């Protein structure tokens, strides 16, 4: 009877995780219902298994604890914070999700359901956002639960690498029909990323594809599969450009053309920079001034407190365009740069633990690739995450909100896979 109850609870836990993975792009309330089921099932399962005793953390857990500890210390030394414990809570949610996926040690068969939920949720989100775009309800292709183009695009890039991982997996855990269907989804999704037009997300995607192409060069089948996906993506982009006049894309392409001619002629780029880009530059200026002028370089101002910076107390050259009270402009919640944002929020120590996490993941991917000649979906998806976090992180934040949740699902599953492959993390 106890085994039946435990199996039922494990299925409940996995179902909750699948609900979270499916609902993140489109259904905020359903996502939180999934979080409740996932958390409740995990808690009861661990109580039944008596898994609350102390044990020595492994390498991955020490790194997660380091990231969380810097957020905690930054909260304590800056208390009271204008947002209370909200920032610490967000950090805890992201890290806890990755840790639970890691320690729950789901089987490959169980994780297939999570992957399909991620892909299904993204494709549903694209259908709904395309309907809003073509009916004039929204000028941008962005997910309903992420009313921000850059957030939607970065989440979309992470899901693209999940799709690519399924397509490239060299084992027989995915059927041929599933691979073909997901390959079609991948091509459609790449075309959709092009329509979104987020430059940071596009650069992250291209960087990840290049990194994968270099990494799988020893595996002929994997390299041919990746090449076929790249060719299909290029054809999808060409087709979309040929049949649909997208004013957003046309404007951005015209801007790049303007940049090119200005550089070629030795001119000044200032007249080609849009007000939106100047505002982003303001974010960076504000971040750097806060870091260098306020005496909080080591531990920062507290998690998620960037928007509470007292700009008037900083010595900055004018004008600051974002403070001209333009309709629709709010105080920035980040510096449009993951690294500067973390430096402001949790200080140089917090930035160091963030880089340590990325370095730790990267070294494990490198070791596993040298030891294994076959390709697993976890490895592909996590290489994509690492490229997205590294490159797109220079233009936006990645390990926050839904982007952070999906990132840590990928990372948790990959680190558990690495542990099973090598016998240690």
Task: Give the distance, in angstroms, between the CA of residue 392 and the centroid of all CA atoms in the same chain.
Answer: 9
Mean pLDDT of 311-316: 82
Rounded to an integer, what distance in angstroms lies between the CA atom of residue 100 and that of residue 15?
14
Neighbouring C-beta atoms of residue 58, cutoff 10 Å: 14
Domain boundaries, the chain: 1-55, 61-425
pLDDT in tens, 134-193: 888 888 889 988 878 888 999 999 999 999 999 998 887 888 899 999 999 999 999 889
The mean pLDDT of the chain is 85
pLDDT at 45: 80
pLDDT at 248: 61
* pLDDT above 90 (res 255): no
Q: Encode burial over 339-377: b for 16+ CB neighbours within 10 A, e otherwise.
A: bbbbbbbbbebbbbbbeebbebbeebbeebbeeeeebbb
Is the CB of residue 306 less than 8 Å from the CB of residue 362? no
pLDDT in tens, 15-74: 999 999 999 999 999 999 999 999 888 888 877 776 666 778 889 999 999 999 999 999
pLDDT in tens, 214-226: 887 566 777 888 8
Is the CB of residue 296 less than 8 Å from the CB of residue 323? no
pLDDT in tens, 344-392: 999 999 999 999 999 999 999 988 876 566 788 999 999 999 999 999 9
Mean pLDDT of 340-347: 94
pLDDT at 47: 78
Among 34-38, 56-60, 125-129, 313-317, where is mean pLDDT lowest?
Answer: 313-317
What are the counts of helices (DSSP H) followed by strands (DSSP E) for the chain?
14, 0
Mean pLDDT of 104-132: 92
pLDDT band for 272, please (50, 70, 90 cuts).
low
Among 61-75, 181-195, 272-286, 392-406, where is mean pLDDT lowest?
Answer: 272-286
């Amino acid at each position: 009877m106890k085994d039946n109850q435990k199996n039922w609870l494990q299925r409940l836990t996995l179902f909750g995780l699948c609900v979270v993975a499916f609902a993140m792009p489109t259904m905020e309330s359903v996502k939180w219902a999934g979080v409740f089921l996932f958390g409740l099932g995990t808690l009861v399962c661990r109580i039944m298994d008596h898994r609350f005793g102390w044990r020595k953390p492994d390498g991955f857990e020490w790194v997660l604890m380091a990231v969380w500890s810097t957020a905690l210390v930054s909260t304590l030394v800056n208390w009271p914070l204008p947002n209370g414990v909200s920032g610490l809570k967000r950090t805890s949610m992201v890290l806890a999700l990755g840790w639970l996926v890691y320690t729950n040690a789901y089987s490959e068969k169980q994780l297939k359901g999570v992957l399909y939920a991620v892909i299904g949720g993204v494709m549903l989100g694209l259908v709904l956002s395309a309907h809003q775009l073509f009916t004039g309800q929204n000028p941008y292709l962005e997910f309903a639960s992420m009313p921000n183009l850059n957030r939607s695009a970065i989440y979309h890039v992470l899901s693209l690498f999940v799709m690519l991982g399924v397509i490239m997996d060299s084992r027989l855990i995915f059927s041929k029909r599933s691979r073909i269907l997901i390959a079609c989804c991948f091509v459609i999704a790449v075309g959709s990323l092009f329509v979104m037009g987020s430059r940071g997300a596009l650069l992250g995607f291209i960087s990840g594809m290049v990194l994968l192409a270099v990494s799988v060069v020893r595996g002929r089948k994997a390299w041919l599969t990746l090449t076929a996906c790249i060719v299909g993506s290029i054809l999808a982009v060409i087709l979309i450009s040929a049949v649909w006049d997208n004013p957003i894309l046309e404007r951005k392409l015209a801007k790049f053309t303007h940049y090119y001619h200005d550089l070629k002629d030795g001119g000044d780029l200032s007249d080609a920079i849009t007000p939106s880009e100047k505002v982003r530059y303001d974010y960076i200026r504000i971040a750097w001034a806060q870091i260098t002028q306020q005496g909080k370089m080591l531990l920062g101002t507290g998690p998620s407190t960037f928007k509470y910076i007292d700009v008037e107390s900083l010595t900055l050259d004018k004008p600051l365009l974002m403070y001209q009270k333009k309709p629709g402009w709010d105080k920035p919640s980040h510096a449009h740069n993951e690294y500067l944002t973390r430096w402001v929020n949790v200080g140089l120590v917090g930035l160091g633990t963030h880089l340590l996490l990325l370095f730790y993941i990267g070294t494990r991917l490198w070791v596993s690739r040298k030891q294994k000649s076959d390709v697993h979906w976890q490895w592909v998806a996590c290489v994509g995450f690492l490229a997205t976090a590294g490159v797109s992180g220079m233009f936006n934040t990645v390990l926050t909100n839904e982007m952070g949740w999906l990132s840590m699902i990928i990372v948790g599953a990959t680190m558990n896979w690495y542990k099973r492959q090598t016998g240690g993390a």
